[in-house]
Structure formats: structure tokens, C-alpha cells
Amino acid sequence: MMPYRRVTALSPDLPTVAMILVSLASLFSASAFATTHEYTLGNGLKLVVKEDHRSPVVISQIWYKAGSTDEVNGRTGVAHVLEHMMFKGTERVPGDEFSRRIAAAGGRENAFTSRDYTAYYQQLHKSRLPLAMELESDRMRNLVLTEEDFGKEIRVVMEERRLRTDDQPRALVHEKMIATSYQSHPYRHPVVGWMNDLENMTFSDAKAWYDTWYAPNNAILVVVGDVNPDQVFVLARKYYGHVEPRAVLQLDERKPQIEPKQLGIKRLIVKAPAQLPYLAMGYHAPALRKPDTDWEPYALEMLAGVLDGNESARLNKSLVREQRIASSAGAGYDSTARGPGMFYLDGTPSEGKTAADLEAALREEVKKLVRDGVTEEELARVKAQVVASHVFQLDSMSFQAMQIGQLESIGLSYRDEQTILKKLQTVTAEQVRDVAKKYLNDDSLTVAVLDPQPLEQKAPAAPPTGLRH
């Protein structure tokens, strides 16, 4: 499921909220999938096209079903390093020519790597879709990898790690918490990689990753915009159809990686230069596997909304505004992933309060919810916010493409989004209380505390060149 977007709190009047919910849901159901088309090329490339004729724009994205979860120990970060290397050119389109051609066409492009997939995208005028496909299909198999380029780019990635994690106390706390929470699952490794692995990574590591995973039968091409689906299929066949498939393990063929059950609370303290302490708590929880029959992930999604779905949600109302124990407090939940899910609580203590004070207050809010449950008005408000967020985000072609690509890349289907929305609307208050009681317990909890150290007075480092996301 997509993360919550905070919106202005709706009136607690239950009939009004229900009317809004029904209205928005019907709007979503009527239009979301009526113009989506699916094709498969002879080489195994899957193409999903969604029509959106409001403006003469097209989004083209290629998603590879390989991310940091597919890396092996000692080579963490290689998926992200290869993403950087993908912009180094081919024989036909050398150097930075890829980016220059997209820019000259009035478009923009970028890429991103996650635990579960790696994706590349372009946004252009609809008439320039052939250009995007020509360039992207070329580097699917014809990337020119050199020792010299690798040497430059690995230094950029190491500096990126320093800038975004090592020098960011909260990011560092989350990285350490995740690494402690997961005992064996590769989610314990950061997407950017451990610094030692980056320092010892070789050119052959990056080349092996490219040769292993970058193939049409391990990819999804997503096109959203002012297009004719059949014409897009013809273009895809023209530019991608000649790319030979490779022997790639499909998602259902890869070895299952089941995280051993946690048998008690884990705690850690992270010392880093910072002004304020910070608390992060992570509970193991299930991820969505069967959209039609699962119910716990939907209830956990609603639980996150009850605690932190808007400015009037429980944590902000109780801990920040009323008790003033925290200057900020939040909740979140990972539900759509190839691996296990996790439910998060976090926050920054107010001046004069400690991380222990905040932890005790967060625990009390969970106890209160389990004891007293959730009101129908509260739940209806969160449901309306979730539906409204989905509908409003459909205004963005990029979001529509991201929605399709993410679901398809983790083994679900773009069609599941409609099921997900409907199932979220059926969650009951009792189910929300049940999942809070079942999963927000110490046996599955990891607690990380930032112990702020004195800040060093130094000039800020210049950002590394070559960052693409």
C-alpha cells in the first residue's frame, strides 16, 4: 500500500464522513482501471499501459525485479551502484548523451533503487515516447562498463552514503534499528550498502549484477499518459522486442527467505552528533501477500492512520499538544513488500523529557487503544482520508505509474490496487484493536535511541556530484 499523506481532518460527523467515503470510492472504482491495458512481448517483457488524456504528456518507466534484497553478503549496495553506472552510456549513446537527449527533448529522467526493485523513468511530451524507449532499451543490454567509470562512481556512492546516512542522525538510527531487528533477512542491509562493502566492491561485482538481472524477462515497462495502448505496444515491440531474454530466476523461483521469529525485546543506543535525542521503535508485522483474503495488513494500515493519519490523530493530539511529552511523534507501516513487514513508532522528546519518557508514553497510547478500542467515528475518518489520498494522487501521472510498477515488481498485480482500496474500507474497529494487541508487543519489538553527542563546528561538505535521486 502507498504511504499515508496527511490531510486536513474531516468533520467527526459519521454520516458525512460515510457519504464522502462512498463518493470517493465510487469515483476511484469507476475510472482507475478502465483504461489500463496489459501486454507481454515474446522475450518476456511485461508492458502495462494506462491512458490519461488530460495533458499531452507521457511517463515511461522500466522496473527491474532486483533490489538490495537480492544481494549477497559482502556485496551490499551493488544494486544501487549499478543504477549509477546505467547512466555511463552505450556504444550508440556514449557518456552523458542519454541525459542530454532527454533534456533536449524537454523531458526529465532519473532512477531509484529499493530493497525490492530498481527503476528508471522519463517524463516527456507524448510525441517523444519513441526516444525514451530507444534509449532505455539500448542500455538494457548494451551498457558499456569500464573500470575507470566504476572507480569514479563508487566514490560518488560512498560520499552519498556519508551525506544521507552517516551524517544524518535519524537516518543512522533507523539503519541501526533495522539491522538489529532483522536477524537473517537481507532487509537488514541498507540499500546504499555498508561502507566496508562499498570500499571493497569491484568492477566485476557491478558487471555480474548487470549480467544477472538486467533482462526483458525480469522487467516491467510501465507507460502512463496521453497515448494509444496498441500504438505503445507496437513501439515496445520495435525497441524492446529484439532484446534477448536471459536465464533469470523469477520471483516465485527465488529461495524463500523467512525471518526467524524474534523471542524478546531488542534495545540499542546510537551515539551520534545531534542537538536532540530521538526514539525509533519497530515491530515485526505481516506484509500483504493475498490481497483478496488477507485482513491483518489492512487493519495495520488503519492502525497507523488512527495513530498518525492527520494532525488530529492520537499521537500528535495526546503526546505533542496535550501532554507535551514530544515535539513530534508518528507511526508508519510497511505493507507492500517482497519480504516481511514492519510497524514503526517514533518521535523526538520535548525539552526536559527523555527518550524513556517518550517510549513510556507511546506504550501507554498502545495500551489505551488495546483496552478501549477505536471509535467508529475515528475509523470512518481514517478510511475517508485513505480513499481521498488515493483519489487525489491519481491526478499525478507519475504516481499512477509508480503505483503500477511497485505492485507488479513485488509479485502482486496493478489490478490489486482496487481490491486493496475496497478491503481497507471493510476494516472494523475490532480488527484494528486485534492487530494492535497481536503485533505491538515486546517479543517482536526493537527499540533504538539516539544519544546526542556534541556537535562539531565544521564547514558543510559539498554534495557529491552525480547524485540522481
Do residues 377 and 425 make contact, with C-beta atoms less than 8 angstroms apart?
A: no
Which DSSP string corresponds to 435-463? Answer: HHHHHSSGGGEEEEEEEEEPPP--PPPPP
Chain segment 254-306, per-residue pLDDT in tens = 998 899 999 999 999 999 999 999 999 999 999 999 999 999 999 999 999 99
Instruction: Give the distance from CA 242 to its chain's centroid.
Output: 31
| Residues 112 and 148 occupy one common structural domain | yes
Residue 78 lies in a domain: yes
In a shared domain, residues 20 and 61 = no
Residue 389 lies in a domain: yes
Q: Which domain holds residue 231?
A: 42-253
* Catalytic annotation, residues: 83
What are the backbone dihedrals phi and psi of residue 224, each rounded to the nearest 5 degrees, phi first? -130, 135
Over range 218-247, report the average pLDDT: 97
Cell digits of residue 214 = 538486467
Cβ neighbourhood burial of 407 (10 Å; 0-12, 13-18, 19+): buried
Question: Does a structural domain hold residue 8?
Answer: no
CB 370 within 8 A of CB 299: no
The set of cell numbers assigned to 90 is: 552505450
Cβ–Cβ under 8 Å, residues 115 and 337: yes
What's the rounded mean pLDDT across residues 81-86? 98
Determine if the pTM surpasses 0.85: yes
pLDDT of residue 386: 83
Grid cell, residue 186, equals 537481507
| 25 pLDDT higher than 70 | no
In a domain, residue 5? The reply is no
Query: Predicted confidence band at 49 (pLDDT cuts at 50, 70, 90)?
Result: very high
Are 232 and 289 in a shared domain?
Answer: no
* Domain end among 253, 286, 319: 253
Q: Are strands 118-125 and 57-64 parallel, antiparallel or unpaired?
A: antiparallel
- Does residue 291 form part of some domain? yes
Q: Is 290 within a domain?
A: yes
Residue 16 vs residue 215, higher pLDDT? 215
Q: Are strands 266-273 and 57-64 parallel, antiparallel or unpaired?
A: unpaired
In the sheet with 118-125, reading across from the earlier edge strand, the strands are 36-40, 46-51, 219-225, 57-64, 118-125, 108-113
What is the tens place of the pLDDT at every residue in 110-161?
A: 999 999 999 999 999 999 999 999 999 999 999 999 999 999 999 999 999 9
Handedness of CA 110, 111, 112, 117 (dihedral sign): positive
CA 286 to chain centre: 16
Claim to verify: residue 235 and residue 379 sit in the same structural domain: no
Assess whether 224 and 268 both reside in one domain.
no
Quote the CA–CA distance of 384 and 23 in Å, as a whole number.
Answer: 10
Residues 19 and 153 in one domain: no
Indicate whether 467 belongs to any domain. Answer: no
Show Cβ contacts of residue 48 under 8 Å, excluding neighbours closer than 6 positions.
Answer: 36, 37, 38, 39, 220, 221, 222, 223, 404, 408, 414
Give the residue from 184, 3, 148, 160 showing the smallest Cα distance to 80: 160
Same domain? For 407 and 445 the reply is: yes
Question: How far is it, in rounded angstroms, from Cα 23 to Cα 28?
Answer: 9
Whether residue 225 is found in the same domain as residue 327: no
Taking CA atoms, 187 is separated from 27, 113, 176, 258, 308, in Å, by: 37, 13, 12, 11, 25
Which residue, 208, 229, 253, sits at the end of a domain?
Answer: 253
Concatenated DSSP letters of 167-199: T-HHHHHHHHHHHHH-SSSGGGS-TT--HHHHH
Cα–Cα separations (whole angstroms), residue 69 to 28, 177, 190, 376: 33, 17, 9, 39
**Number of alpha helices (DSSP H) and beta strands (DSSP E) in the chain:** 16, 11
Based on the domain organization, do 428 and 406 belong to the same domain? yes
Instruction: Look at the chain and report how many structural domains it folds into.
Output: 2
Is the pLDDT confidence value at 18 over 50? Answer: no
pLDDT of 387: 81
Q: Chain-wide mean pLDDT for the chain?
A: 91
The pLDDT score that the predictor gives to residue 466 is: 55
- What's the rounded mean pLDDT across residues 384-400? 86
CATH number at residue 148: 3.30.830.10
Whether 1 shows a pLDDT value over 80: the answer reads no
Q: Is 401 left (phi over 0), alpha (psi -120 to 50) or beta?
A: alpha
21-35, 95-109, 394-408: least confident range: 21-35
Closest by Cα among 336, 343, 340, 341 to 421? 336
Which has the closest alpha carbon to 309: 383, 369, 395? Answer: 383
Query: Please, which contacts does 35-39 make with residues 24 or more away whose CB atoms are closer than 8 Å?
Result: 36/404, 36/414, 37/229, 37/233, 38/414, 39/229, 39/233, 39/236
Q: Enter the DSSP assignment of 320.
A: I
Helices (DSSP H) in 105-248: which residue ranges? Answer: 129-141, 147-161, 169-181, 195-199, 203-213, 229-240
285 and 231 housed in the same domain: no
Given 234, 253, 272, the domain boundary residue is 253
Residues 63 and 193 grouped into a single domain = yes
Position 318 scores a pLDDT of 96
Determine, yes or no, domain membership for 120.
yes
Tell me: do 134 and 92 sit in the same domain.
Answer: yes
